[in-house]
Amino acid sequence: MIKTSPYSPIHVIGGGLAGSEAAWQIANAGVPVVLHEMRGVRGTDAHKTDGLAELVCSNSFRSDDATSNAVGVIHAEMRMAGSLIMACADKHQVPAGGALAVDRDGFSEAVTKAIHNHPSITVVREEVEGLPPKEWDLAIVATGPLTAPSLASAIQAETGADALAFFDAIAPIVYRDSIDMDICWYQSRYDKVGPGGTGKDYINCPLDQEQYNAFVDALIAGDTVGFKEWEGTPYFDGCLPIEVMAERGRETLRHGPMKPMGLTNAHNPTVKAYAVVQLRQDNALGSLYNMVGFQTKLKYGAQADIFRMIPGLGNAEFARLGGLHRNTYINSPTLLDSSLTLKSRPGLRFAGQITGCEGYVESASIGLLAGRFAAAERKGETASLPPATTALGSLLGHITGGHLVTDEEPGKRSFQPMNINFGLFPELEPGSIVKPEGVKRFRGKDKTIMKRQLIAKRALSDCAEWLGQPLPLPETAA
């Protein structure tokens, strides 16, 4: 039930991470919200429940290090901005080394409960088949990677541009008690301790060179889902299926998700593994582990056979095998203004993965911004954009101003989904990087680390100033 308000409600379409965060930000700004979610009336190919903010792929929000990791920085900025997604993630974290991973069911239940209990938010279970009607003068489309075909068609008709689509792949989940711990061992890479972790938060499966080569051969020869329906659809490079990576070169996996660096076999410390498969805790009970980086489009029968070739997984039982799901996003730099408003239709904003960001926290962060911008507009205020030096501002800049079509390459679209990374942040002022006193050799890696630390420190300081808040203590930000 929406409480009495002097403002008309803002409509949010989509109850994923971005839509839930947008609704929360709007409601906490004193403006009522109607959140429209079709699950409960119509399901999707990837979701299993009708809970809000259901995590479809990994249960990891990735690094929580706000001192030198761009993802950790955006975590910290979102916490400062009162993010519902981050608050629920923190309450339902599970051990994951230096990463923030969550119990996916507990997380979704917490978001759902918070949204339903907010007096200024009404949740309506229905499919919105087209663009919001004009009487919804302010609305946000946050339908994510699984936008219903009817709405996708309406977006295409409104923008005059093709909706781009690709397929994300989902990694399998293994029952912990089916993993052979006489072969595998617990260890985080480089023994790194993260939030709620011990430095032994991953299960590691070692492969020697012969085993690795046989595994790569099996992946390449494996039976995969056909491409006829979506031929020519590109994958996002940050979420390639494991077999596609194998096809790109025999050593690709050893320098990607199967890299052995920073790990020592507890059963045989003197022998270095040629490659390592890591599994990360997927639920609070510790009964489920997901195969890190093993998103796949292999058919189910092939998955079980091939993944049981991995030492320690010979008798693995799978709680969920991998799969594919559709992802649709718009050419945001040409279609949206700096406040995420569709240029052809004032009052209509887009948020989340449909705007061309990639990742849970990135999606939620754009929902956070869209919600704040829409609430400001409803209240007759000018939207306050985050500084470009912040993680929020740099990601917004990528979405609304990056990779435009050039005159030299007419018709070419270079805009692609992007995770937050330090490459999106503005450069530091000249002279910012200074060799520490007493250090003789200061080059390469050391300079890179200092650069990232300085960018992170600047981002948090500028974000705190933007929000009118004190800068969090380092241990709080991390």
Whole-angstrom CA distances from 227 to 41, 157, 326 are 29, 26, 12
CA proximity to 71, closest of 46, 96, 54, 52: 96
Residues 161 and 159: their CA atoms lie apart, in Å, by 5
Q: Has residue 168 got a pLDDT over 70?
A: no
Residues 334 and 401: their CA atoms lie apart, in Å, by 8
Residue 284 CB neighbours (<10 A): 17
CA proximity to 310, closest of 274, 261, 264, 283: 274
Whole-angstrom CA distances from 451 to 68, 400, 439 are 9, 25, 16
Confidence of residue 234 (pLDDT cuts 50, 70, 90): low
So what's the pLDDT on residue 413?
46
The terminus-to-terminus CA distance of the chain in angstroms comes to: 37
Q: Has residue 184 got a pLDDT over 80?
A: yes
Q: Has residue 477 got a pLDDT over 60?
A: no
Structure tokens given for 233: 């659809």
Higher pLDDT, 9 or 326: 9
Confidence of residue 164 (pLDDT cuts 50, 70, 90): low
The region of weakest confidence among 118-127, 129-138, 398-407 is 398-407
Give the strand pairing for 318-320 and 139-141: unpaired
So what's the pLDDT on residue 235?
63
Give the strand pairing for 202-207 and 60-63: unpaired
Q: At what angle do helices 104-117 and 17-28 cross, to 10 degrees?
A: 30
Confidence of residue 464 (pLDDT cuts 50, 70, 90): very high
Confidence of residue 231 (pLDDT cuts 50, 70, 90): very low
CA proximity to 25, closest of 368, 398, 374, 347: 368
Whole-angstrom CA distances from 326 to 97, 117, 143, 195 are 30, 31, 12, 32
- Rounded to an integer, the average pLDDT of 126-138 is 91
So what's the pLDDT on residue 151?
84
Q: Has residue 416 got a pLDDT over 80?
A: no
Residues 36 and 283: their CA atoms lie apart, in Å, by 28
Confidence of residue 104 (pLDDT cuts 50, 70, 90): very high
Structure tokens given for 323: 């799969």
Give the chain's radius of gyration (CA, Å).
23
Higher pLDDT, 412 or 380: 380
Judge contact between 199 and 193, C-beta under 8 A. Answer: yes
Residues 309 and 258: their CA atoms lie apart, in Å, by 14
Q: Has residue 86 got a pLDDT over 50?
A: yes
So what's the pLDDT on residue 100?
96
**Mean pLDDT taken over the chain:** 87
Q: Which residue has the tokens 């799969």?
A: 323
